[in-house]
Amino acid sequence: MKIGGFLKASFVDYPGKIASVVFTQGCNLRCSFCHNAILIDTDNTAHGILPEEIFEWLAKRKGMIDSVVVTGGEPTLQPDLKVFIEELKAMSFLVKLDTNGTNPDIIRALLDDELLDFIAMDIKAPLSKYDSIAGTSQLNLSSIRESAEIIKNCDIDYEFRTTFCPELATDDIPCIILDFDLVSNYVVQNCRNSQFEKRLDNKQSLRSLVNEASALSLRGFELG
């Protein structure tokens, strides 16, 4: 596992649980709004942390930490992700995976092996804009859709989320909902990248999204 960061305690990354957060190094997308850009380059070892260091830290905090969130970068690029999560489960931690959905086979395998307790998938854009917002022309959109279908049909807690970045228009959100046939567990979150803070109309735009989503009779539609 290439690990580029470790947050010891978080109250917001696993709903209702105290979580430690593991940030894997390397991502196959290049989203313009990425707030973890330092984690994109697979070969960046400047902040490298060994899995053993994390296991050792967690072993001393059993009973204080409920869960471990594995996020990125993109965790499903890590060849030993399964082994890493197996170790966390052996230590009796709840495990949440954050993914960009580009590797449906990995997601399916982890779910089949009952190694996850929660899964969150980013949906970057409506299909017509996916390449440009994800920053790559190499994207296999059918893989993204397949991941969404796997997650919608899984029997653990899940969440889809979209970052309302400046490249998205208000009416892109209903398009996402329709493209991915989302009926619940969907969150739209504000863009946190400071270079976009000047976009003061963001919140107002999100409010109109809620109205449009309500018109589509969505349940579980929230502002993040």
Q: Which stretch binds ligand SF4 (CB under 6 A): 8-16, 35-43, 187-195, 210-218?
A: 35-43
| By the rule CB under 6 A, 121 interacts with ligand SF4 | no
Among 3, 22, 29, 121, binds ligand SF4 (CB under 6 A): 29
Range in contact with ligand SF4 (rule: CB under 6 A) among 34-42, 142-150, 199-207, 214-222? 34-42
- Please list, in sequence order, all residues whose beta carbon lies within 8 angstroms of the beta carbon of residue 59, skipping any fewer than 6 positions away: 91
Residue 215: what are its φ and ψ, rounded to 5°? -65, -25
127 near ligand SF4, rule: CB under 6 A: no
Write down the least CB distance from residue 71 to ligand SF4, Å: 8
**Residues binding ligand SF4: what is the number (CB under 6 A)?**
12
Identity of the residue, 21 or 65, whose beta carbon is nearer to ligand SF4 in the bound complex:
21
Q: Do residues 158 and 121 lie in contact, with contact meaning Cβ atoms separated by under 8 Å?
A: yes
CA-closest candidate to residue 106, choices 82, 89, 90, 83: 82
CA dist., res. 5 & res. 71, Å (int):
10
Give one DSSP letter per residue of 129-165, joined into a string.
GHHHHHT-S---HHHHHHHHHHHHT-SSEEEEEEEE-
CA dist 172 and 209 (Å) reads 9
Work out whether 187 is an interface residue with ligand SF4 (CB under 6 A). no
CB closer to ligand SF4 out of 47 and 207: 47
In the complex, which residues of this chain contact ligand SF4 (CB under 6 A)? 27, 29-31, 34, 36, 39-40, 72-74, 100
